[in-house]
Structure formats: C-alpha cells, structure tokens
Structure 1
Amino acid sequence: MRLRAPLSRFEARIVVALVIAAVLPLLAALWLADRLVAENLAVGLNPRVVDRLQAIPALYRDLFQARKQLYAAEAREVLRGLPAERGALAGYLEAAVARTPRLRRAAVLGPGGEVLAEAEKQAAEEWEWRAAPARVALPGGGALECTFAIEARYFAELDEGRELAEVVQGAEALRADIRRSYVRAFGALLLGWALAAGLAGLWLARRTTRRISDLVRAVGELARGNLEVQVDPGTAADEVSSLARAFNAMVREVRESRDRIVYLEKISGWQEVARRLAHEIKNPLTPIQLAFQQLEAKWGERMAHLAAPPPPSPPERGGSPPAPLSREAGEAQGEAAADAEFDRLLRDAGEIVREEVSTLRRLTEDFSAFAKLPEVRPEPADLSEVVAEFLRTSPQLSEEAEVTFAAAGEPCPVALDRTLFRRALANLTKNAVEASRPARARLDLAVRRQGGRALLTVADRGPGIPPAALPRVFDPYFTTKQDGTGLGLAIVKKIVLQHGGEIAASPRTGGGAAFEVRLPLAAPLDSGPK
C-alpha cells in the first residue's frame, strides 16, 4: 500500500490560500445574512405590528357590539311606528323591512309568543350573511322581533386576524430560535464550502507540486550525473508542463553533447593508437619482405644449379656394364628430393607471406588514414546537391549497386566540409555494398528536412545489422566482417559529430539496414545577385 506523503509547505500554502479565498466572501455573506434575518424579523415582528394584530379581535368585537346597538335602535324605531290595529300590522312590517337596509325579517309576537304578524325581505343579496336578532318588548305584553344581517366576511376576517395574531405571538416567542436557525444554516453552508475549497486546493496542490517535485528530483538526478533522467510533462498546457518539456530538451541536448564529446575523445585516443600501430607495423614490413625475397632469390640460384645436367663420364673399356651407384651418389639423390620438397614449402610460404604483408599494408593504410583525419572546415552547401554530386562523380558505385536518390523538395542548407563528407558518404555506401554481397547491392538514398535539421538516409536491402551489434556498430575496430577493420563507420560518425550532427543505425523496414545522418540547418544559401 502506497502511503501519501505529508503536505509540503508549498502545498499547505496553496490549500490555505484557496480556503481563505473561498471563506472570506462567505464570512461576509454570513454577516450580511445575519443582518438581513435580523432586519426581516425586526420588520415582520415589529412591536407595533404585533400590537395591532393582537387588537384586531377587540376591534371586531367593538364593531359587532356597535352593530348590535345600531340594530337595537333600528328595532325600537320600527316599534315606535307600530300601528295599534292588528290588521295593519302586516303592511307596516313589510314597509319597515323594505326601507331598513339590513333588516331581513320583522315579526310581532303576542304575550304567549304566538306570531301576530310578520314580514320578510324576499330579495336575495349575493354576499353571505349571518343573522343578528334584536328583540324589543311591547307595552301590553308580547315583543317585536327583528332579524338583521351581518356580512359573513367580517366573521372570517375576525377568525383570520385571531389566527394571525396567534402566529405572530408564536413567532415573537421564537425570534431568537429563527435567527439561530438561519445562522446555523449559513454556517453549515460556510463549512461545507470551506471543506470543498480545501479539498479542491489539496487536489490542485498535489497535482501541481507532484510535477514540481518530479522536476526537483530530476534536477537532483541530473546533478548526480544521470543524463538519462526525463520528466513526464503530462497533457496539461501550462507553465509546469512547458518547464518539464524544456527540461527534457535540455537534458537531451546535454546528453548528446556529452556523448559527442566522449565519442570524439575516444576516437582521438583510438587515432593515437592507430597512428602508433601503423608506425609499428609498417616499419618491419619492408625488411620482412626484402629478407624473404633474398631467401627466394638465393634458393632460386641453388635450384638452378642443381637442375644443370652433370658432365658425361668416359665409357668403360671392353664394354662392361656400368658400375652400381656409390654411397655419395645415393646421398645426392636424397638431398635432391629434400630440396624439391623444401622448394615447394618455400613457394607456399612465399605466397602466404606476400598475402599477409599485403593485408598488413592495407591495415596500416587504414590505420594511417584513420589517424590522419583532418579538422572539419565547413562551408555553405545544400545537402541534396552534395549527395547528387557524390553520386555523379562515383561511377564505380553504379557498377557495384543499383542506386536510387530522392532529393529534398526544398532547400536543405547546411555547413559542411565537402571533402570529409564525401568520405563519409563513400564509407556508408561501401559498407552497404559489402554487406549485400554476394548479391548485387540496392541502395536507397534520400534527403529531406525534419524540423530544424537536414536528414540524410542511406539504406540497403542486405541482411541487415544483428540487433546485438547495433549498440556497438560505430565503435572503432568493431566489425562483423571477416576482413573488416571496424574503422569505416567510426570515421563516418566522427565526421558527422564534427559537423554538429548525429548518426544512427536501425533496421530498414522490409529488410536491410538504414543509416540516418542529421545535420543542423544553416542560414539559407545566397542565391546570388538578382
């Protein structure tokens, strides 16, 4: 299980800054919410408002009482004009009901409660009403009973006012609780927002500082000499990613410069070794060859002397047969046979010595050529034109191989030493031709621009380079050929490095080997006066 590293100072600062940035506005909002709640409660629960609401039921009671008194007075007014004749009572009551606005019914009751006469308003109003009776006693007994109408909305408003007063009284008692609940709600929102800001800050800080920490570790590795270190720039398009990409490019440039310097120093050391070897090998070759030539000459004289016929001996008298061979004659014949065997061995040894001396001379020539590589004197040139000129002036190459060349579709200005670069091209093509034997070689050369560099590719369709040999293919004296010296590709790499370029070997797609030479582009060539 991978444990999370504790917060660094930088991460803690980012988290604190984001929390403060998120909390400060919320604190202001909390203070403002508290003030708004207090003001709203102060307005909604104003003591005057509360008092007025509490006074509503009393006001309605006073209204109803005044109405009852009014209706009693109107009933007494009806009683004053009440006729004494019983037959006129009905007509009088109808007229009284008709002229009195809210009088709905009027009835004259006898002493026993019986109805002597009554009248009722027949027209129906649209508004709802409730009955308000008013009873007036008659002088001789009995009573005048009047029924008045009160709008029902007054009773509904009275009930609503009473309920509202009760609610307001309850809210007044809960004023502090309401305010605390609002503050708690805003406080919970504040804490939640602060927690979210803290987590976001932690995520952002971890994401940012992780990449910065990777850069710090990479810088430490670079300081310890590790030039293989690289940093993952990620997918973000920010300054940290740009810094990581710039760091990777810087490390690659430093590694390439280091490799270039190390290789050139190694080549310089091998050149000194080659110079000494060439000197040490070349000096005894001539004496060896001369001594063997003298030996062959002396032996040739001896063999010529032995091959001469001996003088004829005088004939014996009497015609007697020749005498048998003497001991000396037998020994002479044995020596002649031994001389013939030695002559054969000497001829074989002579061929071997001459062949090996020739090989050693060729080696010393290669060593000398390797040791005497001149310094590069670059001049402005177009890479496509240089390669085309090399192919045009190398007829022996077209005799040994089928060559195709694809020039760049645009200028590839470079600064190079034509003589040395021609030598590099000769070594590359020669290596490709020799690698393809015994079949006829097929070479593909191409020049193109790639970024800020000119790219030259020399590819063959031979057996290719063994994967195990790829890392060492440019090392001096390393070769996979039986008769190779291992100096051709080393010379090529030194020439390329001296031009500030790079060279790499890789398998060719479809079989064979490919060598890529990258040279930095120079200023465009002057096209001459216009």
Structure 2
Amino acid sequence: MRMSRFAVKIYAVLLIMGAAPLIASAVLLSEVLTFNKNLQDEAVETLDDVSHFHRAWATSEADRVSLIGANLSLSPELRLPIATNEERIQQALERELGRYGVLVRAVLYDEGAELMAVGDQGERGLEGLKLRTRRWRVGQTVQPNPPDSSGRVLELTFGIDMSLSDRYEDLGQRRQLHRGLSALEGEKDGSLSEVYTKFYYIMLVLVVVLTVGFALLITTPLSRRLGRLTAATERVAKGELGFSIPVQGKDELSQLTKQFNEMVEELGEARKAVTYLERMSAWQEVARRLAHEIKNPLTPLLLAVQQLDKTFDKYYDRPERYRQIVTEVVEIVTEEVDTLRKLVREFSEFARLPSASPEPREVWEFVTQTLRSNPQFYEMAKINEIEGPVVTARLDPLLMRRVLVNIVQNAIEAAVEAGNAPIIEVSLEVVGENARIRVVDNGTGLPAEGADRVFDPYFTTKAEGTGLGLAIVRKIVIDHGGDIRLLDRTDGTKGVEARIEVPAIPLDQVKETLERKREAEEALMTPSSDEETDEP
C-alpha cells in the first residue's frame, strides 16, 4: 500500500515535534560541557599567570636585596673596627635601612661582637611580614649566605607581605585544584560523550518508534477515508455517479463524506434532467429540420396536383395537351420524391453510421489512392499534391475515404461558389504525435456568422444542403482518436484550410505490426501437414 502524502506530512510533523527538543537539548548540553571545559582551562591559565607573576615579583625582590647586600658589604665603614667605631657603623647600618624600605633589620657579626640596626617598622611592624635573611662576608664580592660565619658577616633581613604570600599559596592550591579538575574532565570527556551519545541515540530511536506508532494510529483511518474520497472524486470526474461512500464517525471528515454523497446524488439527478432536456431538444431539432426539409418538396407536389385538377376540365377534349401537362407534373413529382429520398437516405446514414475498424495504413499512400479513385476531382479542379513524410496511422479505409472525399468536394464547391477556378492543395505533415492531412481551397473562407457551428448537425450555408456532411465527417475522425478543424487561410488568400489529424503509430509499433502481418501471410502460404500428399 502506497503511503499517502497526508500520512507523510503527519509523520514529518510528529517526528519534528519529537526530535527537535531532543536535538536542541543535545546541542545545548554539548555547548555547556564545552563551555565548562573552556572555563576550567581559562581558570588554570589565569592562575598560572598570577602564580608566575607572584614568583617573578618575589624573585625580583630577593634579587634586589642581594644587590643591596653586595654593595653594602663593600662599604668602607663596615670594615672599621667595631670596638672604636661602633657608633659610626651603627649609623651606617641605620642609614642603609632608611634608604631601602625593603630592609627591616641589619646585623653585623664580627668574632662574637654584634651590631644590629632595626628599620622604622619596629618589632611590631614585623608581624605582617614574612621575613627572609641573606648574609654576605664583608669586603668580599661573593654570593650571599656563605657556608660558614668566620670573619665579619653582614646579615640583612627583608620582609615580604605575608598576605601576598598567603594568597600565593592559596593560588597555588587553587591552581592545583583546577588543574586536577581539568585533567579529570579531559579523562572523563570521552566517556561522558559516549554516554550522552548512546543516551540520545536511544532516545532518538524511541522518538521515531513512538512517532511512527502514533502516526499509524492517527493517519491510517484518516488516509483510508481520504483515499475513498479521492477515488470517489476520480470516479465522478469520469462521469460515474451511481454510487455512495460509507459514512464513518461523527467528525468533520464524516460530514464532508455525507455532503459528498449528497452532491453526487444531486449531480445524478441533474444529469438525468439535462440528458432528458438534451434528448428532447435533439428530437425537437430533428422534428423541426424534418418538417422544414419535407415542407420544401411538398409545396411543388401540391401545386402540381392542383394544376392537374384545374386543367382537367379545360383540356378534357384535348388529351394530347393534357397528357403533356401530366408528363410535366410527373417530372416535378419524381424530382421532389427523389429529393425526399435523398433526405431520408442522409438521415438514415447519419443515424446508422458504422463504428470505425481502423487498421495500419501509410497515410500519404491512402490519400493519393483516395484522390485517384475519384477522377472527377481532377476534371473539376486543379489538385496540387504535396507529398509529406512517411507516416503510418490506424485508418478505417471506407470511413476515412468518405471523410477525405467530403472535404475535397466541399473545397471544390466553395471555390466554384466564389467564382474562382478551383485550386485545391492537399498535403501531409507530422505535428507532435499526430499525422495532419491539410486540404486548402481558394473559396470565400468561413462564414462570418456561425463559423463555430460548421460541425453542428443540420447547420449549413448551402441552399440544398442538409447540414449533416461535416457532422458525419467529424464523428468519423473523432472515432479514429483524432479531430478536424476548419480555419481561414493565413497566407493572405481567401479560402479555407481543413486540418484532419489522427494519431500516428510509432515506428517500433509499425515494424512489429508489419512483422506479424508477414508471419501471418507466410503461415497462410505454407501448406499444413494434412494437405500434403504422398508421391505415387
């Protein structure tokens, strides 16, 4: 069973409604995970930058103190004997402490003697600092913190803000924490992605299954009912009206089905009424036409009989003269009776027109044979035959010959009525999938009024015509699956162009038909085994 477009639309809507939130949440979760990982990485990078900055700052402070201590250890004042220059050395140490704010204490050791200078912070001011100590041997440009304390040694104490140190340690701990979390996220990222992917695949399959299930429950009954409506509509379009659709349910579709049945019933009644009116109109037209055609010959018949009655007494003593009048009357009666017979024959032919029995025929060959079998055409007119392409069509030879003869005869008569020497052009061409026979005359053209009625029965512009010729012609052509049209010439010359179109047979079908015909002829020519006789 082919899925209807309505069902496909329902499936699509339900699938989108179910899958869209799932896909959106998957995308959102993926973005959140990516953002969280990026945030962790940025936090680690920021903490690393801050830690590096703090380390660089502490290193720069230590390097600064090292430079100060190296310069101060070379000071001449610190080389003086402590015993005699204690005050001077003390002033030098205090001066250096005052010059460099980073220093909080300076001590000079010399063989048990000790001189100490304390900066402006005092002992209480040292509580918020983290102290560090560096030593230099006085008078020597060596690295600080000598391995032993022999000789005179300078000791400088400098402080680093303990809050900065604590923050540095806290940053270090946080950095380690974030780095660990980032590493953990990296390790779990793959597994989490796999879990989420499996979860969403399972949910997507579940959504699809539920969607198909709900769609089947919803669309199957609706599709079935809509399918019945569609099929019924096609039947109505083909002209079938004697049926109805079962009404199921009480929804809008059921109401539509009910209204459709009522419409079909009304159309059936309307068709019966129209058919009856058309039939009555046709019989009225036939009766009117017959009355008109019969009335025309009855008038001369009546006059002829009245003439016999009036002249009897006048010529009763002269039988020869009366006989002459009787002969004239008989001629009139005979002529009018022949007219009535012709009328009856044409009506009878129109009523009993045989059905077409077409067979494959080469069109141009058929046209030329029809013209050659009517030599009077060549005596009455100049026939210009323009040979066309080789094309085959299914033609009933008897009926289509009648069509072609009628059209050519009408063309000759139209040229004569126009006072012209008849020149008729007959040609063949292929238009699309049809073979077109063209008959062009040099008459007066189509009538100004009634050009669209030339194929209607009983319509004629001739004084002695019945109006059935072209009606019969078109009926025959339509029975062949084609049609006929009458047009005014488009080359600037007065006249009518008749176009007879019939479906052409494709070349492959022509070959197949000819092959079957050849095989049938060979079968007829080959004697059967029963007909064979033994030689004596």
TM-score (norm: length of structure 1): 0.49
Higher relative contact order structure (alpha carbons within 8 Å, sequence separation ≥ 6): 1
